[in-house]
Amino acid sequence: MNQDLSILTLVLNAGFVVQGVLVLLMLLSVMSWAIIFNKWRLYSKTRNEAEQFSHNFWGGTDMDTIMTGIPQQYPDSPLPNIFQAGYREFMRSRRDATQEIAGKIVAAGGIDGIRRALDAAFSREMEKLSRNLAFLATVGSTSPFIGLFGTVWGIVNAFQSIALTKNTSLTAVAPGIAEALVATAFGLIAAIPAVVAYNKFTSDLKRMAANMEQFSSEFLNIIARHIKG
């Protein structure tokens, strides 16, 4: 007798535990792909805006002009946000130095405050850029084991059925083993894209972090020369 061993039939005929495992893996896969598309758009936007901002910044544009145009040109963009934090602290220090007692703000103190503002802004931007990457890592590392659990459970049920029916022919064994192995396949389908995306985004994040750190260092050098001057 011919048996329908299509994936859909195997899923529909699987036990409740195996079906629960498959539903969980599908949900994890959908959530992973949603994060992957969101991160891909976010990182592409971040790289493009960082390149445009760097071009404007090093093109000789006045910092006050750059500061004024950021809300319209680069809304909530990491590199411009870091510049804003540092430049606002610089302007605050300069304003305090002119309004308060002479000598209250010295060069070293002003630079330290600007450095702390840049570091705090960098940490905030890195936290936003790295958000949900841990979920991809978790899906990539746990999905194969979740699928394996479904497979083991399905195989145990298949052997129990064989013991009850005392039928060891391939025709009797194949459906139960096949439906159990579907869980492993689903686990790999969920895990592989998550692992690939996590590695890719982690590499991208390191490059963006290095770019932001380099900009912070160069910006701090510019401000230090201005204060000392």
Task: Please state which of the ranges 5-9, 101-105, 108-112, 116-120 shows the lowest mean pLDDT.
Answer: 101-105
Whose CA is closest to 35, among 187, 198, 186, 145?
Answer: 198
Helix (H, G, I), strand (E, B) or coil at 61: coil
- The confidence band for 103, taking pLDDT boundaries of 50, 70 and 90, is very low
Residue 223 near residue 111, CB atoms below 8 Å:
yes
Answer yes or no: is pLDDT of 4 > 60: no
Place of tokens 């002479």: 102
Between these two residues, 63 and 164, which has the higher pLDDT value? 63
Return the percentage of the chain with pLDDT > 90, whole number.
Answer: 48
What is the distance between the alpha carbons of residues 63 and 128, in angstroms, rounded to a whole number?
25
What is the distance between the alpha carbons of residues 91 and 152, in angstroms, rounded to a whole number?
65
- The confidence band for 100, taking pLDDT boundaries of 50, 70 and 90, is low
- List Cα–Cα distances, 54 to 6, 80, 143, 225, in angstroms: 55, 9, 41, 20
pLDDT tens figures, 58-75? 887 788 888 888 888 888
pLDDT tens figures, 127-144? 999 999 999 999 999 999
